[in-house]
Structure 1
Amino acid sequence: MNMLLKILLLSLVVWAKPNSYVSVHTIVQQLPTGTTTNAIQFIEQDWNLAKQRAMQENKLIFVDVYASWCPPCMLLKTKTFQNKKVGDFFNQHFVNISIDAEKSIGPQVARYFGVTAYPTLVFTDGAGKPVLYAMGYMGTKDILKFAQAALDKLSATK
């Protein structure tokens, strides 16, 4: 119930200040090069770069498909993705990409993954073939379980 109340309150804040998400997203994007944060480090909107790095580093790709107006997406970006444990795990094991489904290559990527709701979280292999996906907000424990399940699924197929 407590989480539901937080999401409801966050939704009201976003509704009252629709540009607040853009501000948070922009701040995360504008960190100086070499800045260390606890957050997941994302490639923004560059699907080809993500695939290239995943192949070079032999890692899965974690894809966050979001919309700028989406309250659960904002909650993921400001809470879950900022968690040190989540950031450390994802930065070590995955190439992470964040894609606004309504801009640039976003609509094409959203169609490719069959996105019907935001956020959609997808793990793919280096070629972009989906391994595991989920829709909706996840807290720290759930996203870490989801990530481990993707690694386990890949290991089981080898």
Structure 2
Amino acid sequence: MKKLFWLFAIALIGVTVLPTIAAFDPVKTDHTASRMAPKSDAEGIQFTEASWKDILKKAKAEKKVIFLDAYASWCGPCKLLQKNVFTKKAVGDYYNSKFINVKMDMEKGEGPALAQVYPLEAYPTLLYIDGNGKILRKVLGLQTPEALIAIGKSVK
């Protein structure tokens, strides 16, 4: 009788728990991958992917200011900024026309070296940098779409 009870208990657990585990797909829940994927048809800010050296050259040649989103992959406010602010049409319209937009994980790739040049106090840090590499404005934390546009206008 005890064997039958345990067999039934194990079967019940298998029927209720295994479908839940099988439904878990880490690719679908990895928001970092979707955050980094450029969307050419998106309405929001279009970020440039290039080396920092090339971005500085481009800013100088086009006489534009660089907008740098300095973030970390684990940062909650950074993810909210990317999802709820950078994707807005009004923000994209303004920033795409006025700035060279760059987002950089400050803990990977060129990020740590750049963090030595532009020390960070918190994430996200939004930097407005001229073609010579000089910081024109530094803003910390999550911003609303309206505030981000106003900050951008104050830099130009």
- Out of 135, 139, 148, the residue aligned to residue 134 of structure 1 is 139
Q: How many angstroms apart in 1 are the aligned matches of 2:50 and 2:62?
A: 19
Taking structure 1 as the reference length, the TM-score comes to: 0.76
Percent of aligned positions with the same letter in both sequences?
34
Runs of at least 4 residues of structure 1 off by over 6 A?
A: none
For residue 20 of structure 1, what is the amino acid of its counterpart? D
Match of 1:84 in 2: 89
Q: How many residues align?
A: 129
- Aligned: 1:25 with 2:35: yes
Q: How many angstroms apart in 2 are the aligned matches of 1:118 and 1:43?
A: 20
- Out of 120, 132, 136, the residue aligned to residue 115 of structure 1 is 120
In structure 2, runs of 5+ residues without a counterpart are 1-26
Three-state SS of the structure 1 residue aligned to 2:45 is coil
Q: How many angstroms apart in 1 are the aligned matches of 2:125 and 2:141?
A: 6
Q: How many angstroms apart in 1 are the aligned matches of 2:44 and 2:147?
A: 16
In structure 1, runs of 5+ residues without a counterpart are 1-16, 152-158
Q: How many angstroms apart in 1 are the aligned matches of 2:110 and 2:142?
A: 23
Relative to structure 1, is the Cα distance of residues 45 and 77 closer, same or farther in structure 2, using a 3 angstrom cutoff? farther
Shift of 1:113: 1.2
- What is the alpha-carbon root mean square deviation over aligned residues? 1.6
Q: How many angstroms apart in 1 are the aligned matches of 2:139 and 2:123?
A: 10
State the structure with more CA Rg: 2
